[in-house]
Amino acid sequence: MTETKRPPSMTPRAIARREAIAKARSEGKCLDCSAETTFGKNDEYYMVHDRLWLRANPQGHGKLCIGCLEKRIGRTLRPRDFKDCPLNTSFFGKSDRLVSRLTGLTEDLVRQLKAVRARSTARAAAIKLLSD
């Protein structure tokens, strides 16, 4: 008998979705260090200007984390290296390092600002709870 057991939740559509996620995960890996750039809590998913990108990565396709891109170009990224697009203006879920490069703030200041935001969110939730 070759019948395999599978959980009832694994429909062909669920299997296809799982495979698509695995493919996206592998395509999102940094070409140099294999860190995931587009999944997780500290994304480094961004767009720099084409000239800079092609200088760092002449083949054009693939992804690089901030550290490996900086290693390839031999310097730290600056806000003007990034394209003016929605991907680069939404900071939610992005790594401190990427937000630092996008804004020109130090990573330490980015961490402090995130902590302030987390505290004010918690405070707002507590105030809502107490006023209900």
**With respect to Zn ion, which residue has the nearer C-beta, 13 or 61?**
61
Considering Cα of 110, then 112, then 118, then 120, what sign does the dihedral take?
negative
CB of 68 to Zn ion, least distance (A): 3
**With respect to Zn ion, which residue has the nearer C-beta, 32 or 43?**
32
Q: Rounded distance, CA 86 to CA 2, Å?
A: 50
**Binding residues among 25-44 for Zn ion as defined by CB under 5 A:** 30, 32-33, 35
Q: Is 125 in the site for Zn ion (CB under 5 A)?
A: no
Q: Is 98 in the site for Zn ion (CB under 5 A)?
A: no
